[in-house]
C-alpha cells in the first residue's frame, strides 16, 4: 500500500441536505490507476467510525452513485464515511472499472492500488477504523469489489457484489464477455484458488461477502451469483449449502451461509424478475433508500440489508433468520386522523411491532392495528415486523403509504430529475412521467421544471400554473 500525500479538497465541498459533506479529495497517493476520489462524511462523524467504499457501474460517475445508491442515507443513520472512487473514459471508453485486466485489478497495481490509497487517505482524514472497512460495487464496480476483496483481505472486513462478477474471473479484456454470459465450469475449489492466489501470504480471516443478483439480468447473467457463492464459501471453508433461508420484500430471497461458529460469512440475495442494476427502494422507511434512475431499480433497498449484514447498524450482523417479514400489508384511512392496518399472520409470532415513517408507534398481538392522532391530508409510511416468544424481532415488511383525508392537495415544483428522485415521477428511455397519472413531463433532467399536484396516495398530475 502506497503512502498517501496530504489530501486537499479540489473543489468546494457540497453540503448535503442531511447536513453531511460530499467533496472531491486530491493528493491521495501515487494513484497508478488514474482514478478520482470523492467522499461523503455525515455531520459530526466521530473518530473510529467504519468506512465504506462504493464503486459505480459503467456509464456512471461517483456523483451518480452518491445521489442514487442510498449509501449516504445509512452513513447518516449509522455513522460512517463513504468513499466514491471514479474512473473515466481515459481509462475505459465506457467509464468502466477494469475488473478484467490483470495489470489494473491486482494487489499493488493499477486501479486496485488507487482504491486502497483512497482508503489510507480516508482513514487519516476521518479517523476511520481500519478494522471496519468495507467495499461494495455495481456491475463492473461489483467485479472490481470482488477483486479488491481477494487482493486486499487484510484491508477489507467485508464486501458486497451487486450484479457483479467473481473475483479474477477474467484476466484479459477478451475474456470478460465470457465471464458475464456463460458458466465457466469451475469447481468451488478452483474459484477459491483465484482468491487465494491474489494474496498468497494471507491465511485469514476472510471478508464477509454479500452477493446481490437479479434473476432476469441479461447483462451479467445469474450464473455469476452462483459462482460467487461457490468462490467465497470455499474461501471461508464452508459448504455451498445455505444454513438458513427467508423471503424478503421485493420478491427477494436471502440465503445465509454460516461458518463453524454459526456466524453468517456469505449471503446470497436473489431478486425475482429484476434486470441489471442496483436494487434500491426510495422512501422514508427504515428499510428504504436510494433513488430510481438508469441501473438503479426500485425493488428492495440492498444497502439496508448489506449494512446490517456487515454489522454497521451496531449489531454483529445476522446470526439467525428470525421470523419472516409479514406480507400482505395494507393501510387505509379510518377517518381524518387515523389509519387502519392489516396483514397476514406470521407463524410463531407472539406479537407485532408497527412502524410509522421508520419509528415504532405501537404493538399488537393480532394482524391488525389502528394508528390514531394523525394529521389530516398527510401521507404516512407504515411497516410491520413480527416478534417471537423469546422477544426476538423478525424482518420488517416493505413499507406501504397512505394519505389521511382532508387538507389541501400538495403541490411540488422541481426539475424532472428531482421529481424522480423524490418518488413523484418515473423515468423511462430518458423521458419523465408523473407517478400514477402517467402524464408525460418531457426530458429527465434538472432543466425541465414542472409543478405536480398530489391528488391521492402515489398519484400525481401536472399542475403548471395551477398551484
Domains, the chain, in order of start with CATH, read 8-310 (3.40.50.1820), 330-403 (2.60.40.10), 410-462 (no CATH)
- Rounded to the nearest 5 degrees, what angle is found at the Cα of 99, between the Cα atoms of 93 and 103? 90
- Catalytic site residues? 139
Q: Per mean pLDDT, which range of 209-218, 364-373, 393-402 is the poorest?
A: 393-402
Question: Looking at the predicted structure, is the pLDDT value of residue 137 above 60?
Answer: yes
- Cβ-contact 52, 82 below 8 angstroms: yes
Three-class secondary structure assignment of the chain: CCCCCCCEECCCCEECCCCCEEEEEECCCCCCCCCEEEEEECCCCCCCCCEEEEECCCCCCHHHHHHHCCHHHHHHHHHCEEEEEECCCCCCCCCCCCCCCCCCCCCCCHHHHHHHHHHHHHHHHHCCCCCCEEEEEECHHHHHHHHHHHHCCCCCCEEEEECCCCCCCCCCHHHHHHHHHCCCCCCHHHHHHHHHHHCCCCCCCCCEEEEEEECCCCCCCCHHHHHHHHHHHHHHCCCCCCCEEEEECCCEEEEEEECCCCCEEEEEEEECCCCCCEEEECCCCCCCECCCECCEEECCCHHHHHHHHHCCCCCCCCCCCCCCCCCCCEEEEEECCEEEEECCCCCCCCEEEEEECCEEEEEECCCEEEECCCCCCCEEEEEEEEECCCCCEEEECCCEEEECCCCCCEEEEEEHHHHHHCCCEEEECCEEEECECCCEEEECCCCCEEEEEEEECCEEEECCCCC
Residue partners of 350: CB distance under 8 A and separation at least 6:
365, 387, 388, 389
- Per-residue pLDDT for 322 more than 80? no
Q: How confident is the model over 47-94, as pLDDT tens digits? A: 899 999 999 999 999 999 999 999 999 999 999 999 999 999 999 999
Alpha-carbon distance values, 170 to 124, 147, 277, 324, 400 (Å): 33, 10, 21, 38, 43
The mean-pLDDT minimum among 10-19, 89-98, 187-196 falls in: 10-19
Pick the closest to residue 1 from 102, 111, 130, 116 (CA basis).
116
The pLDDT, as a whole number, for residue 457 is: 66
- pLDDT of 316 above 70: no
* Chain centre distance of CA 373: 34
pLDDT confidence tier of residue 130, bands split at 50, 70 and 90:
very high
- Nearest in space to 268 (alpha carbons), one of 235, 245, 249: 245
Strands 51-55 and 133-138: parallel
| Average pLDDT in the chain | 89
pLDDT per residue over 451-461, tens digit each? 998 877 678 89
| Residue-level pLDDT at 269 | 97
pLDDT computed for residue 82 by the predictor: 98
pTM for the model: 0.68
- Between residues 303 and 420, the one the model is more confident about: 303
Amino acid at each position: 500500500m502506497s503512502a498517501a500525500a496530504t489530501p486537499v479538497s479540489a473543489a468546494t465541498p457540497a453540503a448535503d441536505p442531511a447536513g453531511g459533506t460530499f467533496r472531491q479529495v486530491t493528493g491521495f497517493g501515487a494513484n497508478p490507476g488514474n482514478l478520482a476520489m470523492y467522499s461523503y462524511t455525515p455531520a459530526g462523524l466521530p473518530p473510529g467510525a467504519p468506512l465504506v467504499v462504493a464503486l459505480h457501474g459503467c456509464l456512471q460517475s461517483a456523483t451518480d452513485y452518491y445521489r442514487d445508491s442510498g449509501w449516504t442515507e445509512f452513513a447518516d443513520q449509522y455513522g460512517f464515511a463513504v468513499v466514491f472512487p471514479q474512473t473515466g473514459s481515459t481509462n475505459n471508453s465506457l467509464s468502466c472499472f477494469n475488473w478484467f485486466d490483470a495489470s489494473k485489478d491486482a494487489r499493488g497495481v493499477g486501479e486496485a492500488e488507487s482504491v486502497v490509497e483512497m482508503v489510507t487517505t480516508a482513514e487519516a482524514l476521518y479517523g476511520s477504523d481500519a478494522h471496519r472497512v468495507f467495499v461494495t460495487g455495481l456491475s463492473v464496480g461489483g467485479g472490481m469489489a470482488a477483486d479488491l476483496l481477494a487482493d486486499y483481505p487484510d484491508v477489507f472486513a467485508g464486501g458486497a457484489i451487486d450484479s457483479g462478477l467473481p473475483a479474477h474471473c477474467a484476466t484479459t479484456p477478451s475474456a470478460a464477455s465470457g465471464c458475464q454470459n456463460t458458466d465457466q465450469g469451475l469447481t468451488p475449489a478452483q474459484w477459491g484458488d483465484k482468491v487465494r492466489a491474489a494474496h498468497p501470504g494471507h491465511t485469514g480471516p476472510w471478508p464477509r461477502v454479500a452477493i446481490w443478483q437479479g434473476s432476469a439480468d441479461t447483462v451479467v447473467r445469474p450464473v455469476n451469483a452462483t459462482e460467487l457463492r461457490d468462490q467465497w464459501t470455499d474461501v471461508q471453508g464452508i459448504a455451498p449449502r445455505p444454513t438458513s433461508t427467508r423471503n424478503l420484500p421485493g420478491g427477494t430471497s436471502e440465503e445465509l451461509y454460516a461458518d463453524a461458529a454459526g456466524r453468517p460469512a456469505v449471503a446470497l440475495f436473489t431478486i425475482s424478475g429484476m434486470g441489471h442494476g442496483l436494487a434500491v427502494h426510495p422512501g422514508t422507511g427504515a428499510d428504504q433508500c436510494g433513488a430510481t434512475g438508469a441501473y438503479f431499480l426500485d425493488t428492495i433497498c440492498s444497502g439496508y440489508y448489506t449494512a446490517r449484514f456487515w454489522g454497521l447498524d451496531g449489531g454483529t450482523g445476522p446470526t439467525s433468520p428470525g421470523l419472516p417479514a409479514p406480507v400482505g400489508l395494507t393501510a387505509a384511512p379510518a377517518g381524518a386522523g387515523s389509519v387502519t392496518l392489516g396483514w397476514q399472520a406470521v407463524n410463531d409470532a407472539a406479537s407485532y411491532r408497527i412502524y410509522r415513517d421508520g419509528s415504532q408507534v405501537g404493538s399488537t398481538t393480532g394482524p391488525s392495528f389502528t394508528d390514531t392522532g394523525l394529521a389530516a391530508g398527510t401521507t404516512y409510511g407504515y411497516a410491520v415486523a413480527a416478534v417471537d416468544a423469546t422477544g426476538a424481532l423478525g424482518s420488517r415488511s416493505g413499507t406501504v403509504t397512505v394519505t389521511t383525508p382532508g387538507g389541501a392537495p400538495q403541490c411540488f415544483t422541481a426539475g424532472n430529475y428531482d421529481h424522480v428522485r423524490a418518488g413523484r415521477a418515473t423515468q423511462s428511455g430518458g423521458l419523465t412521467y408523473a407517478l400514477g397519472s402517467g402524464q408525460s413531463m418531457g426530458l429527465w433532467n434538472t432543466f425541465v421544471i414542472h409543478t405536480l399536484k398530489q391528488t391521492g396516495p402515489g398519484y400525481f398530475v401536472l399542475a403548471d400554473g395551477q398551484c
